């Protein structure tokens, strides 16, 4: 479930006047053992500038955590902000966060594994697996394939855009934060609306982002895999890779410690803590992870450790984004595959990603095509949601710098008492 300041959530109600931020600007660039680094492919000076730019793009008061992993060197990490509003404690290095729609890559991976095992086919229709579930108001599950669901070419209405759902999410978040609505009920909400389009055999491929696609995909995976989508992800991805800090909590509204509190501003101008909730418990949004684990996951995916070659090729077979101008406005570059975006690098080639935008938390992972490098940025709000186009530009620049850096590039050492970038004398470099 996404909550950006666009059609995907209509978060304008929560973007009232910003509160005065008590968050000190702190940042760190360190190696995995937390000692100041000396040389990296992606240098600390560049990382500090990029991190400061992400914070500015997020409104100036967001908390940011970034980690860059590579095959030819030690991890590089950076942080700016504090664990809670008004606290002197810095953002934890291993902070847990809800990855939101980055979950879609986990779900797509499981579906492709089931396809490799011939337990389902990407050409199977929704009607074959879920008779009568996608029907009414012009919806036709007999014309939508599993592939359409994963690559967002089904045309199904996005349940997050339903006025009643929006009101619960945005207008009455606090009263509804312990939401337990099953995926099937949310799909039923989407079926009250006409689709944007219906796939036509032999016709042009049309694309529009819809969280509903992954609810349906998760339901099909459960039937084909004989277990809940949570268990399928846990056993087939998390356990296989040893992702100790990644979970699928379901209806549990609490994050594992440590974590960063997320806040939004209500229409009345009050700061609302939105950390604790169970809205994101379905196959489109329900994974909790860390920057380190997400890098491991995406490197394993690109490195062939999760999918056979045929399914990995299928996942990377992308289409143009034709019918969703807001998605294109927020992220102008790139095409969409099966739970994966393909975005060009300034140095040539591409990287793969899937963003996650939730309640006060924004996740931006990326991996090089060969799986040798990965970087993840986690942004947590302290007041209002950021402008997604600006945030994506800043995080995209950070990703591009990291993935395009030349091996052996000299990096400046970090002084423990150096001031934060752009804010001389404010906040130590720890």
Instruction: Give the angle subtended at the CA of 148 by the CAs of 324 and 109, to the nearest 5°.
Output: 105
Contact predicate 159/234, CB 8 Å: no
Task: With CA atoms as reference, report the closest residue to 10 among 240, 267, 204, 225.
Answer: 267
What is the spatial distance between Cα 86 and Cα 418, in angstroms, rounded to a whole number?
Answer: 22
* Cα separations in angstroms, 343 against 134, 273, 298: 32, 34, 15
Q: In whole angstroms, what is the distance from residue 190 CA to residue 213 CA?
A: 10
Q: Which among 6, 21, 101, 289 is annotated as catalytic?
A: 101
Kindly give, in sequence order, each residue whose CB lies less than 8 Å from that of residue 69, ignoring residues fewer than 6 positions away.
Answer: 75, 292, 295, 296, 299, 373, 374, 375
Q: Which pair of tokens denotes residue 363?
A: 């996740």
Q: What is the DSSP letter of 405?
A: P
Angle CA 163–169–173, to nearest 5: 135
Please indicate whether residue 111 or residue 7 has the higher confidence score (pLDDT): 111
Distance CA 203, CA 200 (A): 5
22: left (phi over 0), alpha (psi -120 to 50) or beta: alpha
Q: In whole angstroms, how far apart are CA 157 and each of 83, 94, 193, 324? A: 37, 36, 6, 12
Query: Would the pLDDT of 24 be above 80?
Result: no
Residue with tokens 């095409």: 335
Handedness of CA 274, 278, 282, 288 (dihedral sign): positive
Which class for 119: exposed (0-12), middle (13-18), buried (19 or more C-beta within 10 A)? middle
- Once rounded to an integer, what is the mean pLDDT over residues 379-393? 97
Q: What is the CB neighbour count within 10 angstroms for residue 295?
A: 23
pLDDT (0 to 100) of residue 42: 67
Tens digit of each residue's pLDDT (9 = 90 or more) over 327-337? 999 999 999 99
Is 101 a catalytic site residue?
yes
Question: What would the pLDDT profile of 191-201 be if each residue is shown by its tens digit?
Answer: 999 999 999 98
Q: Is the dihedral of CA 219, 220, 221, 226 positive or negative?
A: positive
pLDDT of 237 strictly over 70? yes
Bridge partner residues of 28 (DSSP): 79
Which of 2-16, 185-199, 205-219 is predicted with the least confidence, judged by mean pLDDT?
Answer: 2-16
Q: Check if the beta carbon of residue 149 is closer than 8 Å to that of residue 126.
A: yes
Q: Model pTM greater than 0.95?
A: no
Report the pLDDT value the prediction gives residue 422, as an integer from 0 to 100.
31
Q: Is pLDDT of 423 > 50?
A: no
Confidence of residue 343 (pLDDT cuts 50, 70, 90): very high
pLDDT score for 41: 52
Residue by residue, DSSP assigns 83-97 as SSTT--PBPPTT-BE
Assign 3-class secondary structure to 204-225: CCCCCCCCHHHHHHHHHHHHHH
| pLDDT one-digit tens code per residue, 106-145 | 999 999 999 999 999 999 999 999 999 999 999 999 999 9
Give the Cα separation of 213 and 15 in Å (integer): 28
What is the per-residue pLDDT for 47?
84
């Amino acid at each position: 479930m996404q909550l950006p300041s666009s059609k995907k959530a209509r978060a304008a109600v929560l973007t009232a006047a910003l509160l005065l931020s008590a968050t000190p600007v702190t940042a760190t660039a360190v190696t995995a053992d937390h000692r100041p680094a000396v040389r990296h492919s992606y240098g600390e000076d560049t990382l500090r500038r990029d991190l400061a730019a992400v914070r500015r793009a997020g409104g100036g008061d967001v908390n940011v955590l970034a980690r860059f992993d590579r095959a030819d060197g030690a991890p590089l990490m950076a942080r700016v902000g504090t664990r809670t509003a008004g606290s002197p404690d810095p953002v934890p290095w291993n902070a847990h966060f809800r990855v939101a729609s980055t979950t879609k890559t986990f779900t797509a991976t499981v579906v492709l594994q089931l396809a490799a095992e011939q337990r389902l086919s990407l050409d199977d229709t929704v009607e074959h697996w879920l008779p009568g579930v996608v029907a009414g108001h012009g919806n036709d599950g007999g014309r939508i394939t599993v592939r359409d669901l994963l690559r967002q070419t089904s045309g199904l209405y996005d349940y997050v855009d339903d006025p009643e759902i929006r009101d619960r999410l945005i207008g009455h978040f606090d009263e509804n934060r312990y939401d337990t609505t099953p995926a099937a009920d949310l799909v039923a909400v989407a079926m009250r609306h006409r689709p944007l389009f219906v796939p036509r055999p032999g016709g042009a491929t049309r694309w529009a982002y819809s969280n509903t696609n992954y609810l349906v995909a998760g339901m099909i995976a459960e039937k084909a895999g004989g277990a809940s989508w949570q268990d399928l992800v846990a056993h087939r991805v998390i356990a296989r890779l040893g992702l100790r800090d990644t979970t699928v909590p379901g209806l549990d509204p609490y994050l594992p410690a440590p974590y960063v509190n997320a806040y939004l501003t209500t229409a009345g101008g009050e700061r609302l803590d939105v950390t604790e909730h169970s809205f994101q418990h379905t196959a489109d949004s329900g994974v909790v992870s860390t920057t380190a684990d997400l890098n491991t996951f995406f490197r394993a995916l690109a490195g062939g450790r999760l999918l056979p070659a045929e399914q990995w090729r299928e996942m990377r077979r992308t289409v143009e984004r034709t019918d969703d101008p807001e998605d294109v406005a927020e992220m102008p570059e790139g095409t969409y595959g099966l739970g994966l975006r393909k975005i060009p690098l300034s140095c040539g080639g591409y990287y793969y990603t899937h963003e996650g935008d939730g309640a006060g938390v924004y996740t931006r992972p990326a991996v090089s095509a060969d799986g040798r490098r990965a970087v993840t940025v986690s942004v947590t709000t302290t007041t209002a949601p950021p402008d997604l186009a600006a945030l994506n530009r800043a995080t995209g620049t950070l990703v591009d710098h990291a993935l395009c850096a030349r091996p052996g590039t000299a990096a400046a050492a970090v002084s423990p008492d150096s001031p934060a970038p752009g804010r001389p004398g404010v906040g130590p470099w720890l």
